[in-house]
Amino acid sequence: MASMAVQLLGYFLGLLGLVGTVVATVLPHWRSTAYVGSNIIVATAYMKGLWMECVWHSTGIYQCEVYRSLLALPQDLQAARALMVLSCVTSVLASLVSVMGMKCTRFARHSVMKSPLVLSGGVCFICAGLLCLITVSWTTNDVILDFYDPFLPSGMKYEIGLAVYLGFASAFLSLSGGMVLCWSSSPDRSQRPPRMQRSPPLSAPPPSTQSILLLHPTSPRGPEGQSCSFILLRLQQWL
């Protein structure tokens, strides 16, 4: 029961990471206008995402335009697109594999493939979290470098958007869910078969009264006859 609860916890953490990764990929709030210098009082605010660029006017109008040319985009934006899409696909694959391997499902019940499936799902969640973490860290580094560049005009400086923070949270959720699933896939020690303990060797049976009588000095036989009779009798008892 405890292992099942741990698997459910890890799966829901990974599922939350998947939802957050998809939302962060779609949102255009990766970079927002920095209100510094001459941009302190502006009538418009610009926001850039992986797929579109939006403009917010002081009149309340919100307009977005999708990037038309793929080849005209900078290389860092193309790489961020590819990594986030790969992270989403890996998270979906991890959620499907984990469901099949969880103890609360009927798929492959009482099969030895349950634990490997959960382990595979946990590893996929970890890979998805790492891909998302690399993307948002890369974007954060670029935004910070541009912001503190003294030769860059104030109108071209941006701040970190909400989608980046959501990406960080989603990455940590995916990593946490994957590690919990990997930990829950370890075999339960309480269910292992007990080890067979070797019984101690049987001690030799005590000599019978017949053998003692044969060795009595009042026996009419000689010493050689007594020893032969004693050996034969002991052999019969062992056989």
Whether residue 229 sits in one domain with residue 163: no
Whether residue 222 sits in one domain with residue 182: no
Whether residue 37 sits in one domain with residue 145: yes
Please give the mean pLDDT across all residues of the chain.
Answer: 80
Query: What is the domain count for the chain?
Result: 2
CB within 8 Å of 10: residues ≥ 6 apart: 98, 122, 125, 176, 177, 178, 179, 180, 181, 183, 184
Q: In angstroms, what CA-CA distances link 203 with 141, 151, 174, 196?
A: 78, 94, 62, 21
Q: Show the domain range for 218.
A: 209-238
pLDDT tens readout for residues 34-60: 876 665 666 688 899 999 999 988 777
Task: Provide the pLDDT for residue 198.
Answer: 58
pLDDT tens readout for residues 92-123: 999 999 888 887 777 767 677 778 888 999 99
Whether 193 maps to a domain, the answer reads no
pLDDT tens readout for residues 183-195: 887 765 444 455 5
pLDDT tens readout for residues 187-218: 654 444 555 555 555 555 555 544 444 444 44
Whether residue 117 sits in one domain with residue 41: yes
Q: Is the pLDDT of residue 225 over 80?
A: no
